[in-house]
Structure 1
Amino acid sequence: MIAIVCGFLVWWYGDTQLLTRKTNELARSLSLEAGDRKVTRISKNKNLSALLARDLSCSIKLDDYQSHYNYSQLVEAHLHIGLTYGFCSVQISELNIISIANETANILADFIISTRNNDESENSKNVSVNLVWSKDEIGNWQIRKIKLRSP
């Protein structure tokens, strides 16, 4: 019995499981439900900012949009979306941990992003996301690099 409990704890707190849970937490932080109050949206923004490294680099290369964001710009953009959009859903359709080495992990994921403006117009897009996670000085995994592109 002790071996089973120890095995479960090693698995649950292993880097692969932690990174999978943190990537799912990222999707939950980015998702904003229509019924979410302002306080909930601000809380999700704080959760997002805790997942991101301060030296974050984010590049977006989609068919109809290209841009680059740093940490502050991305957190501010998420807060703006929370105040502008009635609904935003981020779902992970596929998640692959490519590598974990030297306190750095590379994850490829496919996200389905759906939004509805306050004027009720809806939009949905599939995107491929490359996330580079690194451990900070106290051992917490944070996203250091994000690359979004069309699949």
Structure 2
Amino acid sequence: MDRAFIKTPLGVAKLKGNADGLSSITVLNTDETVTDIVPESLEDAVYQLNEYFQGKRQQFDLTLNPEGTDFQQRVWQALEEIPFGKTVSYLQLSKNLGDPKAIRAVAAANGKNPLWIVVPCHRVIGSDGSLTGYAGGLHRKKWLLAHESPAKQQSLF
């Protein structure tokens, strides 16, 4: 499995993958040395993530190869359908998957998403609009949603 560490506005991200696709992207809470030479299998992912953070990309076009149960895979595929700049509630996501009673299972699968940003679990919020639960930390979820917001906050100074 190839690995690369890249700098992002939210910390160092660790990418793992190979010729079969990208298997994980995680943001680290520790400093890690940024990769000087990115493995060929991860070059496109690094390029697209950099474009995302520069505000030049709203969708990813990558071969994904995350490990998870069939149910988790279904949830992660549903997450990919949430448009850039939009959010859905955990309840709505459960309904979209055909079982509104599965809200806790959907939330658990969402929390196990191994592909930070590319599979946009940060776009799922509480039914009341609250920023509930995010494995990367609520400060990162808030930043990502603001980054994707169509109405950017203007500074008065």
Tell me the TM-score normalised to structure 2 length. 0.24
Question: Which one has the bigger strand percentage?
Answer: 1
Structure number with higher relative contact order (C-alpha < 8 Å, ≥ 6 residues apart): 1
Choose 1 or 2 for highest CA Rg: 1
